[in-house]
Chain A
Amino acid sequence: MTYPTVIFQITAIGKNPRALAESAHSVLHWMRGTPRLAFRGQVWLVIEPKGYATNPALYEGLRAEGCRLMVVPPEYTTPLGAHGKARALQYAVEQRQALRISTADTWVYHQDEETCVGEDTLRGISEFIEEGRYQVGVGIILYPIDWAGTPSHVQELTRSYDDYRVLDSMTMPGNPTSGVHGSHILVRSDLEDDVGWDSIGYEPAEDLTFEIRLRRKFGAVFGVLKGFAYEKGAFSLGDQLRQRRRWMHGVLHALRHTHELPAKRRLTLTYSALSWFSALPSIAILLAGLELRYGPLLLVSGVFTGFIWISMVTGYLEGYRMHSEYIQLHISRTRFVLHAIVGALVDVLAPWYALASQPSLGDFIPKERPYCQISPTPIPTAAPA
C-alpha cells in the first residue's frame, strides 16, 4: 500500500478569480492544518484563457503557492468536439494520462470555483480512501459563504437538506431519484479517465452524463463522502433562474441525446423533470380553485397535500438549521418566510423558462460580489500550461 494522491481539481472558466483563489487557499490551509491525512494533496486549477486574462497576477500567484495551473489551450479539441466545462474536464483527463497518473492510487476531488473545503472535508476524503469500499464519493454541500439572506440564498438552504436524498439516491442501485453533483465528488482517477467527459458539442449538465456513464460501466461504485463542501449561492434571482435553467437544459439534453441512458434511468429522470414542471401548474390550479369548484376529487388529492406542504417547509427549516453553525447573518422570521416564497417562485418558473430558451455557453453565474469586479487584461500570447 502506498500513500494515494488526491488532486483537488478546480475546473472553471476562471472569471471569478478571487472566489477561485479562496477555494485553492482553503485546500492549502487545511492540508497544512489537518494532521493524520492518509493521502498526498495537489491542487489543479483548470481554467480558460479568458478567465486567466481577468487576473494573470493572481493566477501566477497561485502557481507560485504550489498550485498546478492549466489554462486550456484555445486550439485544444476533444475527439467528440466537446464545448464548455466538459472540454476542460476532458483536458485534465488527458493531462493525467500524459503524466501516467490515471491509476487506482490517484483520486480526483472535483470543485467548482467557489467550492471551499474544510477540515471535515479532508478527513472525510481520507476516511473514504482508507476504507476503500467505493470508487466514487459524494457528499453534502452547504452554502454559507457570503450568505446574505437574500431570496436566492434562502432558497439555496433547501439544497443542503435535499442532499440527504441525493446521497441516498446516488448510493442506491440505479439512482432512483436522479440525484447528482458536479462538485464535492471524489472519483478514482482510473475510473474517471476511463469514461472521460468528452461529449458531442455543448453539454449543459456534463456531471449528469458523467454519472450515467460511470454507473453504466462500473455499476454500484458510489459511496457517501463524509464532510461538507462549502459553496456560495447565486447572488441574484436572475442568476438563480439562469442556474436552474441550465440544470433543466441538462436534464432535457440527457433525455434527448444521451444514448447511454438505460430505460429505467430514463424513466426516473423523466419523472423528476415532470415533478419539477408540475410546480407551476400546481400553483395555478390552486389559485384557480378560489373561483372554480373541483368537487369531490379533492377528497383524493387532498390526502397528500399536507405532506407535500410540510415537506417543503421542512426543507427550509432543516436547511437553515444545518447552516446555523456557519452563517454569521441571521434574518427575521418574517423576512425569511418572504424570501423563501420569492426564492421558491423562481425555482418554480425555472423549468418553464428553460423550455422557452436555448442552452447557452454564456450561462456564467458570477460568484463574486459586484464590487469585486476585476477589469480584464489582455490574454498573454503564450498561455502557461
Chain B
Amino acid sequence: MSEPTDPTSFRSPPDASGATATEEAIDPTWNDPVKVLDELARVDAELRPRRPRSGASVPRPEPVAAAVYSEDPTPAETELSPHLEERLELASASLVQMGAGLRAIDDQWRELRAAADRLEEQMEGAAKEMEFLRERAGTMPAGAAARGPLSSAAEALAARSAAHQLPVDAPYGQFTADRYRRTVDAVKDRRRSMAAWTIGLAVAISGALLTFTYLAHEGTPPLWLALLPLVWLIPVPFFLVSFLATQRLVSQNALDLAGGS
C-alpha cells in the first residue's frame, strides 16, 4: 500500500467502528470554508462545557450530554471531527515553527546588535589609535605604526574571528582603568588618616598593656621565662619597615596611570 504523495492529501482518521473511512482518497470537503466553519462551531460547542472556569459568580456549565446531545443527536453530530486531530497538530506545528523562527530572529538581532556595538567600539578605538599615531609621527616607522598592536596579519585575523567568541560577561570585563584609578586614589586619600590611626591605636593598645603590667607589680621571673616574650619582638622591624614602605610608595604617586582613555 503506497502513501499519498500529494502534500495536500492526508489520511482520514478511523471512524467510530475503527475502520479508515477513506483510506487513500482525498477528502473533497476538507478545504471547504463553510464545512470548516461548521466543523469548528461543532468542535467549539463540544469543547466549551469541558473548559474549567474560575470564580464563584460563573454558573456551573451544564453536563455535556444535556448541552450537545439534548435533541436526538445524529451519529454525525456526536462523533468528534475527523479532522480535529490533524488540524490541531498542524496548528501546533505551525506555532512551534513560528516560535523557532522568532527565536532565530531574536538571536540574529542580538548578534547584529553586538556586532554593531563592536563596530562602534572599534571605530572609536581606531580614531584614538590614529590620534595616537599622529602624536608619535616621526618617532615610529610607518610600517610599524600601520601594523598596530598585533604582530602579524594572521594574528590580527585570528583575533578578529575570536572577537565573536570571547564571552562579554567574563569577570575581566570589569577590570577597567577607571576602577583602578578609583582604587589607587582611595588608598592615596586614606594615607594620612591610615598612618594617624595606626600610630594612635598602637600607642593606645601598648599604653594599656604597659599600664596593666606596671600595676600588676609582678616579681622578676626566672630568666628562661622572662626571655620568652622577646619572641614577640622578632617581627617588629619587619612591620615597621612595611609601614614606612607603604607610606613612602603611596606618597610618591608611583601607581598613578597617566591620562584617561
Contact = CB atoms under 8 A, between A and B. Distances in A.
A360 interface: no
Contacts of B35: none
Interface in A27-53: 28-42
Given A177-B238, A301-B233, A29 B166 contact: yes
B54 interface: no
B167 to A, nearest CB: 7
Contact of B220 (A30, A161, A169, A295): A295
Contacts of A274: 234
Interface of A is mostly: helix
Interface stretch (B23-31, B58-66, B154-162): B154-162
**Interface size range on B against A:** 35 or more
Contact of A322 (B154, B183, B249): B183
Contacts of B163: 32
Interface residues of A, number: 91
B120 to A, nearest CB: 12
Interface string A89-123: 00000000000000000000000000011111101
Given A35-B132, A140-B255, A3 B203 contact: no
A224 to B, nearest CB: 4
A358 interface: no
Nearest to A26: B172
Nearest to B226: A297
A371 interface: no
Interface in A212-255: 224, 226-228, 230
Contacts of B250: 164
Contacts of A161: 246
Contacts of A3: 140, 144-145, 147, 149
Interface string A268-304: 0001101100110110011011001111111111111
Which one of B165, B182, B249 has the greatest number of beta carbons of chain A within 10 Å? B249
A27 B208 CA distance: 52
B229 A119 contact: no
B213 A296 contact: yes
B210 interface: yes
B69 interface: no
Nearest to B223: A297
B235 interface: yes
A121 to B, nearest CB: 7
B170 A162 contact: no
A124 to B, nearest CB: 6
Nearest to B237: A271
B232 A304 contact: yes
B241 A36 contact: no
A127 interface: yes
16 contacts: A1-B140, A36-B129, A40-B150, A41-B150, A118-B175, A119-B261, A120-B257, A161-B246, A164-B249, A165-B241, A167-B249, A168-B246, A169-B245, A275-B235, A301-B230, A304-B233
Interface of B: 121-122, 124-126, 128-129, 131-132, 136, 139-141, 144-145, 147-151, 154-155, 158-159, 161-163, 165-167, 170-177, 179-183, 186-187, 190, 194, 197-198, 201-210, 213-214, 218-221, 225-243, 245-246, 248-250, 254-258, 261
Given A28-B162, A271-B238, A308-B232, 7 more contacts: A3-B145, A26-B175, A66-B159, A228-B183, A294-B229, A310-B197, A326-B175
